[in-house]
Protein backbone atom coordinates (compact mmCIF):
# COMPACT_ATOMS: atom_id res chain seq x y z
CA UNK A 1 0.00 0.00 0.00
CA UNK A 2 2.84 2.40 0.86
CA UNK A 3 4.48 1.70 -2.54
CA UNK A 4 1.15 2.46 -4.21
CA UNK A 5 0.90 5.87 -2.51
CA UNK A 6 4.57 6.66 -3.28
CA UNK A 7 3.89 5.94 -6.99
CA UNK A 8 0.95 8.35 -6.93
CA UNK A 9 3.25 11.11 -5.63
CA UNK A 10 5.75 10.53 -8.47
CA UNK A 11 2.97 10.55 -11.09
CA UNK A 12 1.53 13.79 -9.72
CA UNK A 13 4.90 15.56 -9.84
CA UNK A 14 5.42 14.45 -13.46
CA UNK A 15 1.97 15.71 -14.44
CA UNK A 16 2.66 19.13 -12.89
CA UNK A 17 5.90 19.52 -14.90
CA UNK A 18 4.15 18.47 -18.12
CA UNK A 19 1.30 20.87 -17.41
CA UNK A 20 3.64 23.85 -16.99
CA UNK A 21 5.32 23.11 -20.35
CA UNK A 22 1.93 22.65 -22.06
CA UNK A 23 0.56 25.91 -20.63
CA UNK A 24 3.57 27.87 -21.93
CA UNK A 25 3.13 26.39 -25.39
CA UNK A 26 -0.59 27.20 -25.41
CA UNK A 27 0.09 30.81 -24.45
CA UNK A 28 2.57 31.20 -27.31
CA UNK A 29 0.16 29.75 -29.90
CA UNK A 30 -2.81 31.86 -28.75
CA UNK A 31 -0.72 35.04 -29.00
CA UNK A 32 -0.12 34.34 -32.69
CA UNK A 33 -3.76 33.73 -33.61
CA UNK A 34 -5.89 36.51 -35.09
CA UNK A 35 -9.14 37.14 -33.19
CA UNK A 36 -12.18 35.77 -34.98
CA UNK A 37 -15.83 35.38 -34.15
CA UNK A 38 -19.40 34.77 -35.29
CA UNK A 39 -21.45 37.62 -36.73
CA UNK A 40 -24.27 38.96 -34.49
CA UNK A 41 -22.86 37.29 -31.37
CA UNK A 42 -21.83 39.42 -28.38
CA UNK A 43 -18.12 39.61 -27.51
CA UNK A 44 -15.96 41.12 -24.81
CA UNK A 45 -12.76 42.48 -26.38
CA UNK A 46 -9.71 43.37 -24.31
CA UNK A 47 -7.23 45.69 -26.00
CA UNK A 48 -3.47 45.68 -25.54
CA UNK A 49 -3.73 48.79 -23.33
CA UNK A 50 -6.16 47.00 -20.98
CA UNK A 51 -9.35 48.68 -22.21
CA UNK A 52 -12.44 46.44 -22.42
CA UNK A 53 -15.19 46.89 -25.02
CA UNK A 54 -18.36 44.81 -25.35
CA UNK A 55 -20.75 44.64 -28.29
CA UNK A 56 -22.27 42.58 -31.10
CA UNK A 57 -19.90 41.55 -33.87
CA UNK A 58 -20.60 43.10 -37.29
CA UNK A 59 -19.12 41.99 -40.64
CA UNK A 60 -15.42 42.85 -40.35
CA UNK A 61 -12.35 42.95 -42.52
CA UNK A 62 -9.01 41.18 -42.26
CA UNK A 63 -7.41 44.19 -40.59
CA UNK A 64 -10.14 45.29 -38.20
CA UNK A 65 -13.00 44.14 -36.02
CA UNK A 66 -16.29 46.06 -36.01
CA UNK A 67 -18.61 45.99 -32.99
CA UNK A 68 -22.02 47.51 -32.35
CA UNK A 69 -22.01 48.83 -28.79
CA UNK A 70 -25.32 49.80 -27.10
CA UNK A 71 -23.63 52.84 -25.56
CA UNK A 72 -21.20 53.97 -28.30
CA UNK A 73 -22.69 52.69 -31.53
CA UNK A 74 -20.39 51.25 -34.21
CA UNK A 75 -16.78 50.80 -33.09
CA UNK A 76 -13.86 49.87 -35.34
CA UNK A 77 -10.85 48.19 -33.75
CA UNK A 78 -7.57 47.24 -35.38
CA UNK A 79 -6.92 43.52 -34.97
CA UNK A 80 -3.29 44.19 -34.10
CA UNK A 81 -4.45 46.11 -31.00
CA UNK A 82 -6.66 43.29 -29.68
CA UNK A 83 -5.29 41.18 -26.83
CA UNK A 84 -8.27 38.82 -26.45
CA UNK A 85 -11.77 38.34 -27.81
CA UNK A 86 -14.22 36.26 -25.77
CA UNK A 87 -17.81 35.45 -26.70
CA UNK A 88 -20.40 36.36 -24.09
CA UNK A 89 -22.66 33.46 -23.18
CA UNK A 90 -26.40 33.97 -23.65
CA UNK A 91 -26.88 33.31 -19.93
CA UNK A 92 -24.77 36.39 -19.15
CA UNK A 93 -26.73 38.78 -21.39
CA UNK A 94 -29.21 40.44 -19.04
CA UNK A 95 -31.62 43.35 -19.47
CA UNK A 96 -29.68 45.21 -16.79
CA UNK A 97 -26.42 44.70 -18.68
CA UNK A 98 -23.86 42.03 -19.45
CA UNK A 99 -22.49 39.91 -16.62
CA UNK A 100 -18.91 38.71 -16.63
CA UNK A 101 -18.53 34.92 -16.73
CA UNK A 102 -18.80 33.06 -13.45
CA UNK A 103 -15.12 32.71 -12.43
CA UNK A 104 -15.67 29.53 -10.42
CA UNK A 105 -18.44 27.26 -11.80
CA UNK A 106 -16.48 24.01 -11.43
CA UNK A 107 -16.72 23.72 -7.63
CA UNK A 108 -18.82 24.50 -4.59
CA UNK A 109 -17.36 25.07 -1.11
CA UNK A 110 -15.32 21.87 -1.12
CA UNK A 111 -16.59 19.42 -3.70
CA UNK A 112 -16.69 19.76 -7.49
CA UNK A 113 -19.44 20.14 -10.04
CA UNK A 114 -19.22 18.13 -13.28
CA UNK A 115 -18.73 21.35 -15.25
CA UNK A 116 -15.17 21.10 -16.62
CA UNK A 117 -12.48 23.75 -16.44
CA UNK A 118 -11.20 25.10 -19.74
CA UNK A 119 -7.82 23.85 -20.91
CA UNK A 120 -4.91 25.90 -19.57
CA UNK A 121 -6.96 27.63 -16.85
CA UNK A 122 -6.51 27.20 -13.12
CA UNK A 123 -7.08 28.68 -9.71
CA UNK A 124 -5.55 29.03 -6.25
CA UNK A 125 -7.83 28.54 -3.24
CA UNK A 126 -7.30 29.34 0.41
CA UNK A 127 -9.74 27.87 2.94
CA UNK A 128 -9.85 28.74 6.64
CA UNK A 129 -6.43 30.42 6.17
CA UNK A 130 -4.56 27.16 6.82
CA UNK A 131 -5.60 25.07 3.80
CA UNK A 132 -4.03 25.97 0.46
CA UNK A 133 -4.81 24.30 -2.86
CA UNK A 134 -4.46 24.84 -6.59
CA UNK A 135 -6.16 23.37 -9.63
CA UNK A 136 -5.07 23.32 -13.27
CA UNK A 137 -6.87 22.00 -16.36
CA UNK A 138 -4.61 19.84 -18.54
CA UNK A 139 -7.30 19.47 -21.23
CA UNK A 140 -10.90 20.64 -21.58
CA UNK A 141 -11.95 17.47 -19.73
CA UNK A 142 -9.13 16.69 -17.29
CA UNK A 143 -7.94 18.76 -14.34
CA UNK A 144 -5.74 18.11 -11.32
CA UNK A 145 -6.18 19.69 -7.90
CA UNK A 146 -3.73 19.43 -5.06
CA UNK A 147 -3.50 21.00 -1.63
CA UNK A 148 -1.79 21.01 1.75
CA UNK A 149 -2.59 22.26 5.24
CA UNK A 150 -0.19 24.49 7.14
CA UNK A 151 -1.69 24.12 10.63
CA UNK A 152 1.22 21.73 11.26
CA UNK A 153 3.58 24.72 11.23
CA UNK A 154 2.05 25.74 14.56
CA UNK A 155 3.08 22.39 16.04
CA UNK A 156 6.76 23.41 16.17
CA UNK A 157 7.09 22.40 12.52
CA UNK A 158 6.85 18.70 13.34
CA UNK A 159 4.07 17.83 10.90
CA UNK A 160 2.18 15.78 9.91
CA UNK A 161 1.58 18.15 6.93
CA UNK A 162 -1.56 16.55 5.52
CA UNK A 163 -1.96 16.91 1.74
CA UNK A 164 -4.43 15.78 -0.90
CA UNK A 165 -4.44 15.07 -4.64
CA UNK A 166 -7.64 15.18 -6.67
CA UNK A 167 -7.56 14.40 -10.42
CA UNK A 168 -10.94 14.98 -12.11
CA UNK A 169 -12.47 13.97 -15.44
CA UNK A 170 -15.68 15.65 -16.63
CA UNK A 171 -17.64 16.00 -19.86
CA UNK A 172 -20.60 17.86 -21.30
CA UNK A 173 -22.89 15.05 -22.49
CA UNK A 174 -25.96 17.09 -23.49
CA UNK A 175 -27.30 20.63 -23.31
CA UNK A 176 -27.09 21.72 -19.66
CA UNK A 177 -26.05 18.21 -18.57
CA UNK A 178 -22.57 17.16 -17.42
CA UNK A 179 -21.01 13.99 -16.01
CA UNK A 180 -17.75 13.56 -14.16
CA UNK A 181 -15.67 11.57 -11.73
CA UNK A 182 -12.60 12.02 -9.57
CA UNK A 183 -10.24 10.29 -7.19
CA UNK A 184 -9.52 12.00 -3.89
CA UNK A 185 -6.30 10.84 -2.21
CA UNK A 186 -5.25 12.11 1.22
CA UNK A 187 -2.05 11.39 3.11
CA UNK A 188 0.63 13.09 5.22
CA UNK A 189 4.21 14.03 4.38
CA UNK A 190 5.41 12.84 7.78
CA UNK A 191 4.27 9.39 8.82
CA UNK A 192 1.44 9.06 11.30
CA UNK A 193 1.37 5.76 13.21
CA UNK A 194 -0.92 3.19 11.53
CA UNK A 195 -2.01 5.67 8.86
CA UNK A 196 -1.28 4.77 5.24
CA UNK A 197 -3.55 7.34 3.62
CA UNK A 198 -7.16 7.49 2.53
CA UNK A 199 -8.80 7.64 -0.88
CA UNK A 200 -12.26 7.83 -2.40
CA UNK A 201 -13.67 7.12 -5.84
CA UNK A 202 -16.45 9.55 -6.78
CA UNK A 203 -18.95 10.02 -9.59
CA UNK A 204 -21.31 12.96 -10.11
CA UNK A 205 -23.79 14.56 -12.51
CA UNK A 206 -24.56 18.26 -12.93
CA UNK A 207 -27.67 19.80 -14.47
CA UNK A 208 -27.67 23.50 -15.35
CA UNK A 209 -25.23 26.10 -16.60
CA UNK A 210 -22.28 28.11 -15.27
CA UNK A 211 -24.56 30.42 -13.25
CA UNK A 212 -27.25 28.07 -11.97
CA UNK A 213 -26.70 24.37 -11.45
CA UNK A 214 -27.44 21.33 -9.31
CA UNK A 215 -25.03 18.42 -8.73
CA UNK A 216 -25.67 14.95 -7.28
CA UNK A 217 -22.86 12.52 -6.55
CA UNK A 218 -21.85 9.31 -4.82
CA UNK A 219 -18.44 8.24 -3.49
CA UNK A 220 -16.88 5.12 -2.03
CA UNK A 221 -14.05 5.47 0.46
CA UNK A 222 -10.92 3.29 0.22
CA UNK A 223 -8.65 2.45 3.15
CA UNK A 224 -6.59 -0.52 4.31
CA UNK A 225 -7.05 -2.26 0.98
CA UNK A 226 -10.84 -2.18 0.70
CA UNK A 227 -13.75 0.06 -0.27
CA UNK A 228 -16.58 1.07 2.05
CA UNK A 229 -19.72 -1.00 1.64
CA UNK A 230 -22.04 2.00 1.36
CA UNK A 231 -21.45 5.28 -0.49
CA UNK A 232 -21.29 8.87 0.65
CA UNK A 233 -24.05 10.88 -1.08
CA UNK A 234 -23.66 14.57 -1.96
CA UNK A 235 -26.16 17.11 -3.26
CA UNK A 236 -24.90 20.60 -4.13
CA UNK A 237 -26.21 23.67 -5.90
CA UNK A 238 -25.40 27.19 -7.04
CA UNK A 239 -27.72 30.07 -7.98
CA UNK A 240 -26.32 33.35 -9.30
CA UNK A 241 -28.77 36.09 -8.39
CA UNK A 242 -26.84 39.14 -9.56
CA UNK A 243 -23.68 40.19 -11.34
CA UNK A 244 -21.58 39.75 -8.19
CA UNK A 245 -23.55 37.46 -5.87
CA UNK A 246 -24.42 33.76 -5.94
CA UNK A 247 -25.90 31.44 -3.32
CA UNK A 248 -24.11 28.13 -2.75
CA UNK A 249 -25.07 24.98 -0.87
CA UNK A 250 -23.25 21.69 -0.41
CA UNK A 251 -24.67 18.75 1.53
CA UNK A 252 -23.39 15.31 2.57
CA UNK A 253 -25.17 12.13 3.68
CA UNK A 254 -22.63 9.68 5.12
CA UNK A 255 -23.12 6.07 6.24
CA UNK A 256 -22.03 5.55 9.85
CA UNK A 257 -21.53 2.24 11.66
CA UNK A 258 -21.11 -0.18 8.76
CA UNK A 259 -23.85 -2.28 7.19
CA UNK A 260 -26.23 -1.97 10.14
CA UNK A 261 -25.39 1.64 10.90
CA UNK A 262 -27.33 4.80 10.15
CA UNK A 263 -27.00 7.80 7.87
CA UNK A 264 -25.46 11.02 9.15
CA UNK A 265 -26.15 14.30 7.38
CA UNK A 266 -24.24 17.58 7.23
CA UNK A 267 -25.41 20.56 5.20
CA UNK A 268 -23.88 23.90 4.26
CA UNK A 269 -25.14 27.19 2.92
CA UNK A 270 -23.68 30.57 2.10
CA UNK A 271 -22.96 33.44 -0.27
CA UNK A 272 -20.33 33.62 -3.00
CA UNK A 273 -19.09 37.11 -3.87
CA UNK A 274 -17.94 37.17 -7.48
CA UNK A 275 -15.25 39.12 -9.29
CA UNK A 276 -14.05 38.71 -12.85
CA UNK A 277 -10.99 36.70 -11.77
CA UNK A 278 -11.80 35.76 -8.19
CA UNK A 279 -14.49 34.80 -5.72
CA UNK A 280 -14.97 34.82 -1.94
CA UNK A 281 -17.20 32.35 -0.07
CA UNK A 282 -18.84 33.04 3.27
CA UNK A 283 -20.87 30.08 4.47
CA UNK A 284 -21.68 27.76 7.36
CA UNK A 285 -21.58 24.01 8.07
CA UNK A 286 -24.43 22.70 10.18
CA UNK A 287 -26.55 19.76 11.35
CA UNK A 288 -28.49 18.86 14.49
CA UNK A 289 -25.32 18.23 16.51
CA UNK A 290 -23.40 21.33 15.41
CA UNK A 291 -26.47 23.48 16.01
CA UNK A 292 -26.24 22.71 19.74
CA UNK A 293 -23.03 24.73 19.86
CA UNK A 294 -23.94 27.37 17.27
CA UNK A 295 -27.36 27.86 15.72
CA UNK A 296 -25.90 29.09 12.42
CA UNK A 297 -23.16 26.44 12.31
CA UNK A 298 -19.39 26.43 11.79
CA UNK A 299 -18.13 29.25 9.51
CA UNK A 300 -16.68 28.50 6.09
CA UNK A 301 -14.40 31.17 4.65
CA UNK A 302 -12.39 30.82 1.49
CA UNK A 303 -11.25 32.82 -1.50
CA UNK A 304 -10.31 31.77 -5.03
CA UNK A 305 -8.00 33.54 -7.46
CA UNK A 306 -8.05 32.41 -11.10
CA UNK A 307 -4.94 32.31 -13.26
- Segment 7-37, tens digit of pLDDT: 444 444 444 444 444 444 444 434 444 566 7
User: What's the mean per-residue pLDDT of the chain?
Assistant: 86
Instruction: Please tell me the pTM assigned to this model.
Output: 0.79
**pLDDT at res. 36:** 67
Confirm if 162 and 187 have CB atoms less than 8 A apart.
Answer: yes
Which fold, 102-306? Answer: Porin (2.40.160)
C-alpha–C-alpha distance, residues 70 and 118, integer Å = 29
Helix, strand, coil share of the chain (percent; to 5): 15, 55, 30
Enumerate the domain spans of the chain: 1-87, 102-306
Helical ranges in the chain per DSSP H? 2-32
Across 205-216, average pLDDT: 98
Q: Which residues pair with 98 in a beta bridge?
A: 93
Question: pLDDT tens for residues 161-205?
Answer: 899 999 999 999 999 999 999 999 999 987 767 677 899 999 999
**pLDDT at res. 177:** 98
**pLDDT at res. 34:** 54
**pLDDT at res. 166:** 97
Question: pLDDT tens for residues 51-85?
Answer: 888 888 999 888 899 999 877 889 999 998 999 88
CATH of domain 1-87: 2.30.30.100
Look at residue 298 and tell me whether its pLDDT is greater than 80. Answer: yes
Across 130-150, average pLDDT: 96
Query: Left (φ > 0), alpha (ψ -120 to 50) or beta: where does 103 sit?
Result: alpha
Look at residue 4 and tell me whether its pLDDT is greater than 60. Answer: no
Amino acid sequence: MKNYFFSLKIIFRSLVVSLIVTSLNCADVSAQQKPAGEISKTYRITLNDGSVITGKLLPSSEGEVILESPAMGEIRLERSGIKSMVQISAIDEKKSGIWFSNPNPSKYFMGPSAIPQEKGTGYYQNTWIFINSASVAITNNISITGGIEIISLLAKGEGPYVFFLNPKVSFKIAENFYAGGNILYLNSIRTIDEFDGLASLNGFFTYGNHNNNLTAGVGWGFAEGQFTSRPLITVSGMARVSRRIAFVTENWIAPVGGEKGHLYGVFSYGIRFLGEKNSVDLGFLNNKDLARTSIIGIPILDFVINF
